[in-house]
Amino acid sequence: SQELEQSPQSLIVQEGKNLTINCTSSKTLYGLYWYKQKYGEGLIFLMMLQKGGEEKSHEKITAKLDEKKQQSSLHITASQPSHAGIYLCGADLTGTASKLTFGTGTRLQVTL
Amino acid sequence: GAVVSQHPSRVICKSGTSVKIECRSLDFQATTMFWYRQFPKKSLMLMATSNEGSKATYEQGVEKDKFLINHASLTLSTLTVTSAHPEDSSFYICSARDTTGGWGTEAFFGQGTRLTVV
C-alpha cells in the first residue's frame, strides 16, 4: 500500500477556479515538500513545511501542514493554464532527515 | 536557487549495453544524492541513497549489481545501468541536498533522464 496518498489523482478545472490537492499519511510527516512536475521533466520545488499548523504561500499557491502533521494540502487560487502539471508531495516519514517518500501525484489540467 | 544538472536528458541504447547517467550539484555541496525511477503516470520510486565517499544504500527490490551508483565527490554522483534490458526503460531522476543541516534545506532535482532500451 502507498505510504503517502494524494487526492484527487487527477483534476480538471476551469481557468480562474480555485482548487485543493491533499496529501495524507498514516505516519508523521517530519518534513513535507511540494513539487510540480511537467510530464517527462524534473521536479520544481514549490514549498517545504515542517511544523504542525504551518502555512506558506507563494504567489497563488498556499500549502498547509495540519497540527497532527499527517496531512498537507496545496491550494491554488484563481488557477491559470501555467499551473497545469503534476503535483507531488514528498515527505520524510522516518524522522531521520534521510530520504523522501513521494505521494502518488495529482495531474492538474486547467481549461480555458 | 541551487541547481542540479543531470546528463544526458535522453538516451537510447541497445539491449545488453551499459548506460551512465550523471548528476551534478552546480553551486552547493551535496552530501547526499538520491536516485529515483519514475514509471509512466506513476510517482517517484526511490532506488538508492548515496552519500559522498561511501557505498550507496539501496531500497528493497533494487538490484545493486544492476544499478551501480558512485558518489565520488560532493558534486557528482553517477548511476550506471548495467546490461540494460527493455524493462529498464524508464525516467530516472536524481536529487541532491546538503543534509548536514538536517531538514530545512531543499531537495533539488535534476531534469531527469529518459532511458529507452531497444
Cβ contact A102–B43 (<8 Å): yes
* Nearest chain A residue (CA) to B49: A99
Express as a percent the part of chain B with pLDDT over 70: 91
Q: Which residues, 6+ apart, have CB-to-CB distance to B63 below 8 Å?
A: none
Q: Burial code of B15-54, b = ≥16 C-beta within 10 A, e = fewer?
A: eeeebebbbbbeebebbbbbbbbbeeeebbbbbbbbbbee
Is the confidence at residue B105, as pLDDT, over 70? no
pLDDT at residue A7, as a whole number? 95
What pLDDT digit, counting tens, does each position of A82-108 carry?
999 999 999 888 877 667 889 989 999
Q: Summarize the confidence of residues A29-49 as an average pLDDT.
A: 86
pLDDT at residue A22, as a whole number? 97
What pLDDT digit, counting tens, does each position of A3-36 carry?
899 999 999 999 999 999 999 998 888 889 999 9
Neighbours of B90 (CB within 10 A): 20
Interface test with A, best of B4, B109, B111, B113 (most A CBs within 10 A): B109
Range A39-43 contact pairs with CB under 8 angstroms and sequence separation of 24 or more: A39/A85, A39/A86, A40/B91, A40/B112, A40/B114, A41/B111, A41/B112, A42/B4, A42/B6, A42/B93, A42/B109, A42/B110, A42/B111, A42/B112, A43/A88, A43/B93, A43/B95, A43/B109
- The runs of H, that is alpha helices, within chain B are none
pLDDT at residue B30, as a whole number? 82
Q: Summarize the confidence of residues B61-75 as an average pLDDT.
A: 92
Phi-psi region of A69 (alpha: psi -120 to 50; beta: other; left: phi over 0): left
Interface of B with A in 56-95 (CB under 8 A): 91, 93, 95
